[in-house]
């Protein structure tokens, strides 16, 4: 008699962003038919937030992809609903519709909440604030702004959106022959500090080339009629100020969270204190919140769950790699760096390229998700 095939492990993935999408695709790739997958997302679309900085300048809406299609391609079931609580003792999740779903393994990928941290500034979270930024750009293009400051509050490790906004605004000023001064004000000790060494030096160079005034070690406090006030009492003159938000965790009843609302994990993504529950992406307490990292964490978690289901996936890497394209630079510019377990750049592992060595290129890289997106984009063209 043939040995009985064990029942597949039922995996529930919560969220509809980069981390959840990568987790679903990676799970199927790693575990094949050893798992059944249910994706529960509040929104039926995967929206590519990393492209949100360019959209108000180009007028092109941020790309979004149908999660139903992604679920179908991964042999998963999509439920569009909001998760309200987890009951780890009975391995269930409760949804806003009143439904309950059971799981053998649960992957949490609900992201973080963005909140304004510089009173008086236009807080640019992502595509949701595109219209406000477009109004500001219209004033800029009419020559109504003498000065514009872009800033990031203390505690934000992924400051790239602020750099892109400053560079794109400065490019606009140059293109239209305006005299607006564009400043970038950041608490970081060096530009785009999380990338370290070579990338940071190169970013300082492109800011200078674009004529952006850079103020490092400068923490924004609030905006008043003179401009941007700094925490140390200084000020940066500015008619208008655009600020990146601070991120806070999404607390989910039943899931332990730290003071900031983020979920602490063990090295391979298991939630501390809960059996069979994993997390990836901006929701975790890892200090750097970035799409490519979200995808790497999701891939790791998917490999761990696949192994639990009896598969033999390749061993996940424990180093994290940041990869991105810097929009607004005068020419194509791709940055790469390794970061350690505390989110600090690894010395000697910071690189700058004119042509990305990873493929397909894009605003973020996920081993399974980026090729899926590239295929969808090709099919739609
Ligand atoms: C302007 C900007 C530019 C950026 N640029 C880059 C870049 O160039 N490169 C890069 O790699 N990263 C970049 N990032 C960071 C990147 O976008 C995030 O790190 C990434 O989106 C995090 O993915 P996530 O899946 O963890 O969370 P999210 O993208 O926040 O997704 C969370 C998902 O969970 C869903 N959800 C929330 N609550 C519930 C609930 N209760 N029930 C069900 N579903 C729920 C949401 O609807 C959403 O679909 C940028 C971010 C911004 C804002």
Which of 15, 16, 23, 257 has most ligand 1 atoms within 8 Å of CB, for mutation?
15
Residue owning the nearest CA to atom 51 of ligand 1: 50
**Which residue's alpha carbon is at the smallest distance from atom 21 of ligand 1?**
291
CA distance 370 to 362: 8
Q: How far apart (Å, rounded) are the C-alpha atoms in residues 192 and 55? A: 21
Contact 311, 29 (CB under 8 A): no
Cα separation, 86 vs 94, in Å, equals 6
Class at the top of the CATH hierarchy for domain 117-245: alpha beta
Of 162, 122, 137, 149, the closest CA to residue 230 belongs to 149
Question: What residue spans of the chain are helical by DSSP H?
Answer: 18-31, 55-58, 67-73, 130-141, 160-176, 197-210, 291-308, 369-380
366 Cβ below 6 A of ligand 1:
no
Q: How far is the CA of 218 from the centre of ligand 1 (A)?
A: 27
| Domain 9-111+250-314 annotated CATH 3.40.50.150 | no
Our mutation pick for probing the ligand 1 site, out of 282, 328, 360, 373, counting the most ligand atoms within 8 A of Cβ, is: 282
CA of 365 to the centre of ligand 1 (A): 13
In tens, the pLDDT along 64-123 reads 999 999 999 999 999 999 999 999 999 999 999 999 999 999 999 999 999 999 999 999
Our answer on whether the CB atom of 292 is closer than 6 Å to any ligand 1 atom is yes
What sections of 244-287 are H helices per DSSP?
none
The domains of the chain are located at 9-111+250-314, 117-245
pLDDT digits (tens, 9 = 90+) for 144-181: 999 999 999 999 999 999 999 999 999 999 999 999 99
Name the token pair of 325.
């394209």
Per-residue pLDDT of the chain (381 residues; tens, 9 = 90+): 555 567 999 999 999 999 999 999 999 999 999 999 999 999 999 999 989 999 999 998 998 999 999 999 999 999 999 999 999 999 999 999 999 999 999 999 999 999 999 999 999 999 999 999 999 999 999 999 999 999 999 999 999 999 999 999 999 999 999 999 999 999 999 999 999 999 999 999 999 999 999 999 999 999 998 899 999 999 999 999 999 999 999 999 999 999 999 999 988 899 999 999 999 999 999 999 999 999 999 999 999 999 999 999 987 776 799 999 999 999 999 999 999 989 999 999 999 999 988 888 778 899 999 999 999 888 887
Same fold? 9-111+250-314, 117-245: yes
The reply to whether ligand 1 has any atom less than 6 angstroms from the CB of 328 is no
In short, whether 17's Cβ falls inside 6 Å of ligand 1 is yes
Q: How many angstroms is it from 49 CA to the middle of ligand 1?
A: 6
């Amino acid at each position: 008699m043939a040995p009985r095939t064990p029942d597949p492990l039922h995996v529930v993935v919560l969220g509809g962003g980069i981390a959840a999408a990568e987790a679903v695709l990676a799970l199927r790739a790693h575990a094949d038919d050893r798992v059944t997958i249910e994706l529960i997302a509040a929104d039926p679309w995967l929206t590519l937030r990393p492209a949100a900085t360019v959209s108000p300048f180009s007028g092109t809406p941020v790309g979004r992809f149908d999660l139903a299609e992604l679920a179908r391609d991964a042999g998963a079931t999509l439920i569009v609903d909001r998760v309200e609580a987890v009951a780890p003792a009975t391995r269930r999740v409760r949804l806003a519709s009143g439904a309950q779903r059971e799981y053998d393994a649960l992957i949490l990928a609900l992201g973080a909440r963005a909140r304004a941290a510089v009173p008086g500034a236009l807080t640019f979270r992502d595509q949701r604030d595109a219209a406000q930024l477009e109004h500001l750009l219209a004033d800029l293009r009419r020559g109504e702004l003498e000065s514009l400051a872009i800033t990031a509050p203390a505690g934000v490790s992924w400051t790239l959106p602020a750099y892109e906004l400053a560079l794109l605004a400065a490019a606009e000023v140059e293109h239209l022959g305006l005299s607006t001064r564009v400043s970038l004000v950041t608490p970081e000790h060096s530009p785009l500090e999380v990338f370290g060494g070579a990338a940071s030096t190169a970013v300082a160079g492109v800011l200078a080339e674009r004529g952006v005034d850079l103020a490092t070690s400068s923490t924004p406090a609030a905006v008043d009629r003179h401009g941007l006030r700094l925490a140390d009492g200084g000020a940066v003159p500015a008619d208008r100020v655009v600020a990146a938000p601070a991120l806070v965790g999404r607390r989910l009843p039943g899931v332990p969270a730290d003071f900031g609302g983020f979920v602490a994990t063990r090295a391979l993504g298991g939630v501390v204190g809960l059996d069979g529950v994993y997390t990836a992406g901006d929701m975790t307490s890892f200090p750097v919140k970035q799409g490519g990292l979200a995808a790497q964490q999701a891939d790791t978690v998917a490999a761990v769950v696949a192994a639990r289901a009896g598969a033999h996936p390749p061993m996940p890497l424990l180093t994290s790699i940041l990869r991105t394209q810097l929009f607004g630079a005068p020419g194509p510019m791709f940055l790469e760096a390794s970061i350690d377990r505390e989110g600090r750049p690894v010395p000697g592992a910071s690189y700058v390229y004119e042509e990305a060595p990873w493929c397909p290129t894009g605003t973020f890289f996920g081993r399974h998700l980026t090729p899926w997106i590239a295929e969808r984009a090709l099919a739609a063209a």
